[in-house]
């Protein structure tokens, strides 16, 4: 079911028997508005807003600067929607969408659960602003790209560490969040060091007396952990890097990770947004 809002967002939900637990779903640096994951989640009892943040209609064409007020509009839209159960909503973000979700959870109200698929706990790729706060992007060095004989780059070492020098300013203050976190990690992710980011996020939360996040690691899984039975994306063009890059992953292990991660994400949201386990978490 598609519902029109002030910015013409598309809310996917089951018809009848609402309201449903609400989730905002965001993808990565590819831009645009992928809706397939939102559609699939809607079949399992969620009201889902697939949220574009650049490269779509009147949104910025390039990823240079983001204002969190735009994402706050989306959160408020969901909290006020008659098909959304409340009192809080969930966030689901992949890659760049993951660090945006962490930023939303850190600064915005009304967020109960945040699931991140191979995301970063540092702000990456663009300046982030919210009111009087500015978070610079994590530094990077393209000279660290390793190119194989096929001309495909390995960018795993391109980003600087958010624990050193001025790059510490890029670390998102997730200790301010008032929600539960789930980190889905592909241990063969070649986009960036997702396992390192999840571990550092966990350390920071616990150092500030916050609940330890759930971290689920998948050996042999690459960056693009999609819903079950999606073909593994081993390599493709990276818009920010400007060349084809490898994403990592061993086919069988990656496929198995996609099946299990999909169950884990649903269970996480049912647990924290509905307050009870859901049988649908055991389905594909």
- Alpha-carbon distances, residue 73 vs 123, 157, 174 (angstroms): 20, 35, 20
Q: Are 128 and 66 in contact (CB under 8 A)?
A: yes
Catalytic residue, from 13, 81, 95, 270: name it.
Answer: 95
CA–CA distance, 107 with 179 (Å, rounded to integer): 11
167: left (phi over 0), alpha (psi -120 to 50) or beta: alpha
Catalytic residue, from 189, 202, 238, 272: name it.
Answer: 189
User: Is 208 labeled as catalytic in the residue annotation?
Assistant: no
User: Is 270 labeled as catalytic in the residue annotation?
Assistant: no
Phi and psi at 142, nearest 5°, equal -65, -15
Catalytic residue, from 99, 106, 170, 223: name it.
Answer: 223
Burial class (CB in 10 A: 0-12, 13-18, 19+), 231: exposed
User: Is 95 labeled as catalytic in the residue annotation?
Assistant: yes
Q: What amino acid positions are annotated as catalytic residues? A: 95, 189, 223
């Amino acid at each position: 079911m598609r519902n029109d809002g002030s910015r013409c967002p598309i809310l996917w939900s089951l018809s009848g028997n609402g309201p449903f637990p609400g989730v905002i779903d965001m993808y990565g640096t590819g831009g645009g508005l992928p809706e397939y994951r939102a559609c699939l989640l809607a079949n399992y009892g969620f009201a889902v807003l697939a949220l574009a943040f650049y490269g779509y209609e009147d949104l910025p064409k390039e990823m240079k600067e983001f204002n969190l007020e735009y994402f706050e509009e989306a959160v408020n839209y969901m909290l006020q929607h008659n098909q959304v159960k409340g009192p809080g909503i969930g966030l689901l973000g992949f890659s760049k969408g993951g660090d945006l979700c962490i930023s939303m959870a850190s600064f915005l109200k009304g967020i109960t659960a945040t699931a991140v698929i191979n995301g970063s706990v540092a702000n990456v790729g663009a300046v982030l602003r919210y009111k009087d706060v500015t978070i610079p992007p994590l530094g990077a060095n393209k000279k660290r790209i390793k190119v194989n004989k096929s001309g495909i780059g390995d960018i795993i070492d391109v980003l600087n560490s958010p624990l050193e020098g001025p790059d510490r300013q890029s670390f998102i203050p997730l200790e301010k969040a008032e929600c539960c976190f789930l980190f889905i990690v592909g241990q063969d992710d070649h986009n960036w060091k997702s396992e390192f980011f999840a571990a550092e996020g966990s350390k920071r939360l616990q150092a500030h007396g916050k609940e330890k996040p759930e971290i689920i690691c998948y050996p042999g899984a690459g960056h693009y952990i999609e819903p079950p039975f999606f073909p593994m994306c081993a390599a493709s063009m990276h818009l920010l890097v400007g060349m084809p890059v490898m994403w990592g992953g061993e086919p069988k292990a990656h496929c198995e990770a996609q099946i299990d991660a999909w169950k884990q994400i649903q269970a996480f949201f049912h647990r924290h947004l509905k307050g009870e386990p859901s049988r649908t978490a055991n389905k594909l």
